Amino acid sequence: MPIRILIAEDNPAVRTALHLLLESVDSWEVVDAQNGQEAIARAQELNPNLVILDLVMPVMDGLAAARVLSKLLPDLPLLMHTMHWSPQVELEAQKVGVRKVVPKTDSRGLMAAIQQFLTAQPANPVPAGSETALATIAIPDVAAAATVIDPAQAAASDAAEAPAKTADAPADPSPN
């Protein structure tokens, strides 16, 4: 019987990348949900061996979903995979039942954490030599896409791109 991993991720590109990464292991079956509420329903229906939760999702975020899943399925390992990793996020996640928080930029760390949580369950390990194949599957760098721009920097950039006024252009173009 395959190991079933439930991914709760709202970003389709990240969800696809995770599918490719995880399905490269023959004994793993990957199912997904687009938000925390859907993850709870799918977990109850499918009884996965592990749930990977994004932190920020519509409808219900990963922390709220983890809180509910921890009560409904207390033995189910929960892992958080987020671009918002910080010690505070890790602490809050652990308080609601998440066993490990892994940044989205660390696919090797994600695979190691998954292996760690599945070792207590009957599973085939990652096949020898597949580490190289797994390393070539890049999870999209959503952190770079979500870069916050400093307002002062944006204003300076806009000013640099604006057409320069010529010396003979009137300061006030309205007629007198």
Domain ranges in the chain?
A: 3-145
Task: Supply the pLDDT for residue 121.
Answer: 53
Task: Supply the pLDDT for residue 137.
Answer: 38
pTM for the whole thing? Answer: 0.69
Q: How far from each other are the two terminal CA atoms of the chain, in whole angstroms? A: 85
pLDDT in tens, 128-148: 444 433 333 343 333 333 323
How far is residue 119's CA from residue 144's CA, in Å, rounded to a whole number?
33
For residue 173, pLDDT beyond 90:
no
Across 54-72, b (16+ Cβ under 10 Å) vs e yields: bbebeebbbbbbbbbbbee
The torsion defined by the Cα of 109, 110, 111 and 112, in degrees rounded to 10, comes to 50
Task: Please name the CATH architecture into which domain 3-145 falls.
Answer: 3-Layer(aba) Sandwich (3.40)
Adjacency order of strands within the sheet including 50-53: 28-33, 3-8, 50-53, 78-82, 100-103
Nearest C-alpha neighbor of 29 from the set 52, 1, 53: 1
pLDDT in tens, 38-86: 999 999 999 999 999 999 999 999 999 999 999 999 999 999 999 988 8
CA dihedral for 88, 93, 98, 103, sign (positive or negative)? negative
Task: Supply the pLDDT for residue 28.
Answer: 92
Which DSSP string corresponds to 86-143?
-HHHHHHHHHTT--EEEETT-HHHHHHHHHHHHTTS--PPPPTTHHHHHHTSPPP-HH
Task: Supply the pLDDT for residue 154.
Answer: 34
pLDDT in tens, 10-47: 999 999 999 998 988 888 999 999 999 999 999 999 99
Residues in the chain: 176
How far is residue 149's CA from residue 91's CA, in Å, rounded to a whole number?
28
Answer yes or no: are the C-beta atoms of 105 and 90 closer than 8 Å: no
Mean pLDDT across 106-129 = 71
Task: Supply the pLDDT for residue 162.
Answer: 38
For residue 168, pLDDT beyond 60:
no
Answer yes or no: are the C-beta atoms of 3 and 49 closer than 8 Å: yes
Task: Supply the pLDDT for residue 107.
Answer: 87
For residue 123, pLDDT beyond 60:
no
